[in-house]
Amino acid sequence: MVSKEFFEALADLEAEKGIRSEIFIDALRNALISAYKKQYDGGAGDVDIRINPEKNSIKYYTVRTAVEEVTDKEKEISLAEAQLLKKSYKAGDLVYEEFVPKDFGRIAAQTAKQVILQKLHEIERDNTLSEFSDKKDELMSCVVRKVDAKNVYVELGKGQIEGIMLPQDQVPGEKYEVNDRLKVYVKNIKSSGRGAQVLVSRASAGLVKRLFENEVPEIKAGTVVVKAISREAGQRTKMAIYSEDAQVDAVGACVGNKGSRVNAVVAELGGEKVDIILWSENPLEFIAKALSPAKVISVTQVGEKSAIAVVPDDKLSLAIGRDGQNARLAARLTGWKIDVKSESVAAKMEELQASAEEEPETEEEAVPAAEAEE
C-alpha cells in the first residue's frame, strides 16, 4: 500500500479537490488508525500512525503508558522496560514503539479508502455550503435529477449540489420531469447526512420578486421598490410596488413595453396571473388598489386594520374573486381585514343605520315619561 505512486495519487486528489494537505493527511491518518483497529477488533491497544508524504512513508507505533506496575499489557509498559528504550522516560509518559503490522492488507486498505472518501465528501460538502452561503433568498437555475412520490430533487451550481423541492414548495398543476431546467428560489441551506442540501421553492413569493428583479432594471437598481407580495402559486400573485421618484412610472416599468417584462415573468410562472399594484402610504387608498382588477367606489375603516370596501354591483364577483381569492390576496397584501360589499347592499346598510338612529324612544324609555305627566 505504501508507495510513491500511492502518495502521488493522493497529491493528485488533493489538487483536484482543492483540499489543504494538512486536512487530507490528518483524514488519512485517522482512517488508517480506524481501519487497523477494525482489523483487530479493537484488541491491538492504542496505535499511532505517522505519515510523511515527502518520504512516501507511513509508520505504525504502539502507544503505551509507562507505569511502575503493569496491569494491562496492551496499554501499559513497565517503567524499567521503557527506560531500556529511552532512559529519560518517567512514570506516566507515553511510550511509542514502531512496528510493522501483520496482515494489514487489502481489507484494511479498502476500509481506509472508504473513510478517506467519507472525509473528502464532508470537506466537499462544507466547501459547497460555504460557496452557497450567500445564495439564500436568491434565484437560481437548476436541472431536475429525480422525482419521487413527494419530492423533486434538483442539481444546482458548479459543485452539483443537491436541492430538494418539498411538496409545499411545488406549484399545484406543474409537472416536473427529469432533465427539466427550472428557475427556483433558494429558501434555506443546511447540512444533512447526504451532504450539503438546499431547500428550493417554485411556490414562494420570493420567486416572483426575484424574477421581476431580473426583468426590471429599475427594481434591481432600487429606483422601483417591491413593498409587498401575496401569492397563491399557480393561480394569482399581487405585487405592490413604489418609487420615490415622481418621474418614474413604477407600474409601467414592471409591465414593460407592450407587456414584455410582466409577460416574461408570467411565462416563467406557467401562465399565473400577476396584478401589479401601486403602493400607497394611505392604507384605504392602498386597499382600493389592491382589489384590482375590480373598480372600488369607496373604502371605509371600521376598526383597527379592518375596512369595508364598496364596489359596483356588477363588479362584486370580480372584487371577491373565485372562492374569495382576489379579496384574500388583497387582505394579505395590505395586512388589513377587508369586507367587500356591493353598492346596493352598502346603501341598504346605510339606510338601516340611518333609520335606527331616527327611531323614537323605546317603550321602556317612554314609560317613565308617561308616569311623570301623571
When pLDDT is cut at 50, 70 and 90, the band that residue 374 belongs to is very low
**Which of 44-48, 64-68, 190-194, 326-330 is the least confident region?**
190-194
- What pLDDT score does 126 carry? 76
Q: Where is 110: in which H helix or E strand?
A: helix 106-132
140 contact partners, CB below 8 Å, separation of at least 6: 156, 157, 163, 183, 184, 186, 200
- What pLDDT score does 370 carry? 36
Asked if residue 372 has pLDDT above 60, the reply is: no
- What pLDDT score does 102 carry? 78
| Integer Cα distance of 296 and 288 in angstroms | 6
Asked if residue 34 has pLDDT above 90, the reply is: no
| Integer Cα distance of 332 and 318 in angstroms | 17
Domains of the chain: 4-130 (3.30.1480.10), 135-201 (2.40.50.140), 204-279 (3.30.300.20), 287-367 (3.30.300.20)
- What pLDDT score does 7 carry? 76
Kindly provide the residue ranges of all beta strands, DSSP E only, lying in 134-235, ordered along the sequence: 139-147, 152-156, 161-165, 181-192, 195-201, 225-232
Asked if residue 105 has pLDDT above 70, the reply is: no
**Which of 82-96, 238-252, 357-371 is the least confident region?**
357-371
- What pLDDT score does 353 carry? 79
Mean pLDDT for 145-169 is: 88
Asked if residue 11 has pLDDT above 90, the reply is: no
Mean pLDDT for 306-318 is: 96
Asked if residue 356 has pLDDT above 80, the reply is: no
